[in-house]
């Protein structure tokens, strides 16, 4: 049997190559757009501003940090440069390889946080746009087991507002995350208290508009080429569609075209359905 095509790895590879070409780095997080014109040329500056804001919430170091969902290793690389010891947990084999290349000196664990077998104690558990992917029932309790007494959890991520009633009501919407009210309840029932918190929804929301404009440029190219082939080479167009169907299901093709040509992903929708927050928790 032929090996299954890893479309996620292919997509990550292409996406990181594009981001690296555009910005010179492989950051996978939002930008902080306060005082910046929302253009592709300012994406690196916006992402650097985001990192500076996030690092402003780090306690005094040097620290032993567990970077959970470490992306391509750019954040860990910066933490290492500041003198911290860093271990990264990332489930994607492709991203784990990028972390080992980018964040030399960090220990990389290729697994989910839930399955992380490593030993603490850590001074800080860091979730930079990864907290939303871990069940609330597992995230904070596991952090409590891994941290030193009085250790901290730093979260920078989206949370759903009360306006969001689900995909079945609103359709696909930008952002994501746990309902903010559910997160509050989880903290109340945990070993942690909120030590610091800041909402930065307005500052990060323009990232959605920039991302969608870039997707629309790609979508225009795809649509233009498809129409040209359909009109002049209908048989080739049919064969190409069949070939694409071998590794992309109909649902995935529909989702992809929605991203490339749709109009539902806007900063306005992001603001309505999301609350982007930086939250620092301290273990009681």
pLDDT tens by residue, 94-132:
899 999 999 999 999 999 999 998 787 999 999 999 999
Same domain, 107 and 238: no
Residues 6+ positions from 28 with CB-CB distance below 8 Å: 16, 19, 71, 72, 74, 129
Statement to judge: residues 116 and 214 lie in one domain: no
- Supply the pLDDT for residue 94: 86
pTM: 0.81
Q: Are 71 and 54 in the same domain?
A: yes
Strand partners, 158: 276
What is the three-class DSSP state of 192?
strand
Structural domain range at position 43: 7-202+273-283
How many domains does the structure of the chain reveal? 2
Domain-located, residue 2: no
Note whether 128 and 226 are same-domain residues: no
pLDDT-above-90 percentage for the chain: 57
**137-175 pLDDT, tens digit each:** 999 999 999 999 999 999 999 999 998 787 776 666 777
DSSP label at residue 23: H
User: Is 267 domain-assigned?
Assistant: no
Is residue 197 domain-shared with residue 211, that is, in the same domain?
no
Residue 236 burial by CB count (10 A; 0-12/13-18/19+): exposed, middle or buried? exposed
CB atoms under 10 Å from CB of 202, counted, come to 13
Q: Is the pLDDT of residue 47 over 50?
A: yes
- Strands of 85-89's sheet, edge to edge? 107-109, 85-89, 64-68, 122-128, 147-160, 274-283, 192-199
CA distance 279 to 198: 7
Do 137 and 19 lie in a common domain?
yes
Q: What is the pLDDT of residues 227-242, one digit of tens each?
A: 567 677 667 545 555 5
65 and 194 both lie in a single domain: yes
222 and 190, same structural domain?
no
Spatial contact of 63 and 233, defined as CB atoms under 8 Å apart: no
- Does residue 169 lie within any of the structural domains? yes
pLDDT band at 4 (very low <50, low <70, confident <90, very high): very low
CATH number of the structural domain spanning residue 89: 3.40.50.150
- Within a domain: 32: yes
Q: Are residues 65 and 93 in the same domain?
A: yes
């Amino acid at each position: 049997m032929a090996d299954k095509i890893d479309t996620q790895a292919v997509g990550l590879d292409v996406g990181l190559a594009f981001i690296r070409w555009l910005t010179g780095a492989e950051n996978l997080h939002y930008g902080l757009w306060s005082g910046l014109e929302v253009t592709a040329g300012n994406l690196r500056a916006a992402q650097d501003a985001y990192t500076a804001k996030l690092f402003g919430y780090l306690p005094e170091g040097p620290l032993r940090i567990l970077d959970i969902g470490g992306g391509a290793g750019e954040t860990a690389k910066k933490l290492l440069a500041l003198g911290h010891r860093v271990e990264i947990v990332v489930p994607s084999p492709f991203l784990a390889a990028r972390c080992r290349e980018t964040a030399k000196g960090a220990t990389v664990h290729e697994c989910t946080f839930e399955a992380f077998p490593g030993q603490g104690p850590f001074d800080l558990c860091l979730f930079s746009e990864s907290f939303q992917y871990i069940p609330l029932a597992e995230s904070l309790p596991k952090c409590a087991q891994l941290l030193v007494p009085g250790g901290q959890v730093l979260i920078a991520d989206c949370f759903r507002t009360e306006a969001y009633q689900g995909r079945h009501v609103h359709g696909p919407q930008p952002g994501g995350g746990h309902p903010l009210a559910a997160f509050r309840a989880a903290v109340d029932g945990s070993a942690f208290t909120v030590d610091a918190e800041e909402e930065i929804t307005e500052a990060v929301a323009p990232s959605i508009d920039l991302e969608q404009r870039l997707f629309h440029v790609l979508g225009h190219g795809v649509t233009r080429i498809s129409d040209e082939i359909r009109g002049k080479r209908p048989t080739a167009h049919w064969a190409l569609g069949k070939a694409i169907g071998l590794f992309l299901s109909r649902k995935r093709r529909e989702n992809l075209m929605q991203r490339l040509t749709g109009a539902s992903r806007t900063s306005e929708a992001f603001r309505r359905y999301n609350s982007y927050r930086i939250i620092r928790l301290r273990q009681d």
